[in-house]
Structure 1
């Protein structure tokens, strides 16, 4: 083990700012500020350093992890290019995990309903929005295109544009002080008080300049971009989900991935305490540990995803054997497209088969009788079917990634 001191990285600067608590404001639980909150006259904010031209130096152990992560991601990307459905599975897994970190839990059936626009729980809609934001943010850097502020704001709009509590703030940097943890009403007892609003836009410009450099490791760059974004906390809400999406955007811009999204959030979810500890360490000047942490998360996620690739590859022949469809029939075409589109309503099914509605319903019935599809709707209208094996793989992939990390003793 490398026992040398960690390479230096600029830590946050702490500044005291005046604070006044409105004693009449009411929180979501109906309670007013406590006496200690009402007595607050100042808060200590943390202002991140400018990093646009900073040198990221890491230990020899971390260099080895970075190289191993690059190999694992390259291998996963190669599998995805020859296997339909893997990229979609990874996005779905990442969206579910990144939402769970924010305590947003979506049932798989509800997630399927929300995917096709059917009525579903709010948590499922939020998870679908996270997947859309993640996909858009990553796609914005396809082919090495620069990461832009407009793309970050657009991702935030996709994430929270339909949220009743946050839609007024979606797609814009915050104009108010925020904080992490503590009370809903004041920063009292909070874990992190980010910089005041006037610092946000300049710090984000600085972060984007760093994110678009090509003179450092892609994995190290992704780790620093994520941690710096969380230190800035530029939005009123959604910072974690957008910030974790930046990891994939940086890796895509640098060409380490071309179509896959590494589900690193599943590793973070498995031990959120360690994840948050590394973000804290980054703010205190330890970028090396943050980079090593992301590299390990990427390795574990990529290796677990390769197992999923093997499972997905086996499904199509299994389905064909179970259904025995005539070549080029509606059922045959439906099976061919099911890995990419494992959640179906009649419109999606028609798009897969290219057949008349009657033939398509016959194919849906055949696949359901063979237990390739399971119907999760009730009644004769707005029917929804899912390829249960694919949806189950989403949950199992998250669990496989998680077992590579020590489970948290504090997180419930």
Structure 2
């Protein structure tokens, strides 16, 4: 049964007197997931089912393909956190330029943008490795941690006690003390066994696994980043959100008070079938499912916005071509037509980009970009001496607006402004 274990803290030598404290503290040890019974209220089960249907619709409804292309930009905030960036965060446009610089010689972006772009790449690759694995192991989670925190001094599962809140020097006044270090390995082995199974629905599984991971707190640093990544791992492995990144972690970050209260409630004491345990787990899962529903709603809104933008582009392009005496629709297999398809995924391009992704020569690549710029679909920008970049600013603006909404405690910036760093409002 879940319990708090009394332990004794021995003070370290060399500290000043006020920090040199020893004494009794209590570390929390949760029940194992694979053997813990779980009884959910019918109302919560129905709410989770509705949220799962909304998430699945993101992969099959209008705009699904374009949302999949733009999904990585929703990792921007996570990548900023992973980069430990302080101050003004780089805009989606800066990050897109920095991503392009991973394959081409371009300039015009900050060092912060480069850090974020690099971390987006790491996040995507590391997360996909877990999604593709036949069975996820504890070592796989450790590898994910190392990828997300490459400069951390303490890779691997912790062999020391950690804690949240209180003093930096001892856990005596901590807000929460995770399990003792000798419990970390068996608890993590149980956690990955639960991840590899399907005892519960995908959304319930993701919520329980995230709360259990944050409760174990198996690393000395970076637990939040790994825990958020594991949400996407579960949803993708279960086929619920295979082609997109659902911004649940952004919503949970905005609902920070509910998030902390929910995790605290999850950490019941005693019999897992007791009323207190049921209420605690339900409180957490209500928060998690609500966050998933909000994330799905706003991802769907972004998909709709992208679909409407693509229709507007088609109208502009027809008008431009008609004014030149050309047929309104470009040929289906033309570079112009294909670029329109790729813009959500690659909102910053050069002729070299088009050559690389479409396999065409320079002249048709440059001609197609110029045509789209003349039709006011792309904007020209010098990105290197002698190299012109072409930006789909409206795509980048939609990403920025979506992130601003997700940072508002009312998820509507007309009612409440962003409560945490978010892109500036587009001009």
TM-score above 0.5: yes
Contact 2:372 2:378 in 1 (8 A): yes
Contact 2:79 2:123 in 1 (8 A): no
Contact 1:90 1:305 in 2 (8 A): no
Residue in 2 that maps onto 1:344: 349
**Cα–Cα, structure 1 residues 246 and 89, in superposed 2: closer, same or farther, change >3 Å?**
same
CA distance in 1 between counterparts of 2:370 and 2:149 reads 37
Please list, as runs of the form range in 1=range in 2, the aligned pairs for 1:9-48 lying within 5 A after superposition.
11-23=2-14, 35-41=17-23, 43-48=25-30
Contact 2:79 2:119 in 1 (8 A): no
SS of residue in 1 equivalent to 2:20: helix
CA distance in 1 between counterparts of 2:336 and 2:419 reads 48
Deviation of 1:311 after TM superposition, in Å, equals 1.2
Residue in 2 that maps onto 1:29: none
Aligned to 1:56, which of 38, 43, 48?
A: 38
Aligned to 1:291, which of 280, 285, 291?
A: 285
Contact 1:74 1:256 in 2 (8 A): yes
CA distance in 2 between counterparts of 1:411 and 1:314 reads 29
CA distance in 2 between counterparts of 1:39 and 1:408 reads 43
Residue in 1 that maps onto 2:377: 372
Larger radius of gyration: 2
CA distance in 2 between counterparts of 1:410 and 1:114 reads 26
CA distance in 1 between counterparts of 2:80 and 2:287 reads 20
Contact 2:178 2:216 in 1 (8 A): yes
Cα distance per residue 1:311-337 (max 9 Å; x no partner): 111223333443457434433332222
Cα distance per residue 1:90-136 (max 9 Å; x no partner): 34214425755997544323322332336643475246525642554
CA distance in 2 between counterparts of 1:96 and 1:156 reads 18
Cα distance per residue 1:367-411 (max 9 Å; x no partner): 345443345665426765442222222222234445575879997
Residue in 1 that maps onto 2:53: 71
Is 1:92 aligned to 2:92, yes or no?
Answer: no
Is 1:394 aligned to 2:399, yes or no?
Answer: yes
Is 1:322 aligned to 2:316, yes or no?
Answer: yes
Contact 2:13 2:20 in 1 (8 A): yes
CA distance in 2 between counterparts of 1:336 and 1:411 reads 33
**Cα–Cα, structure 1 residues 339 and 113, in superposed 2: closer, same or farther, change >3 Å?**
closer
**Cα–Cα, structure 1 residues 241 and 359, in superposed 2: closer, same or farther, change >3 Å?**
same
Contact 1:111 1:128 in 2 (8 A): no
SS of residue in 2 equivalent to 1:14: strand
Residue in 2 that maps onto 1:266: 250
Aligned to 1:334, which of 326, 330, 339?
A: 339
TM-score (norm 1): 0.80
**Cα–Cα, structure 1 residues 251 and 409, in superposed 2: closer, same or farther, change >3 Å?**
closer
CA distance in 1 between counterparts of 2:264 and 2:368 reads 54
TM-score (norm 2): 0.77
Extract unaligned runs of 5+ from structure 1.
1-9, 25-32
CA distance in 1 between counterparts of 2:71 and 2:261 reads 26
CA distance in 2 between counterparts of 1:121 and 1:364 reads 28
**Cα–Cα, structure 1 residues 53 and 245, in superposed 2: closer, same or farther, change >3 Å?**
same
Residue in 1 that maps onto 2:159: 175
Is 1:275 aligned to 2:259, yes or no?
Answer: yes
Aligned to 1:220, which of 204, 215, 222?
A: 204
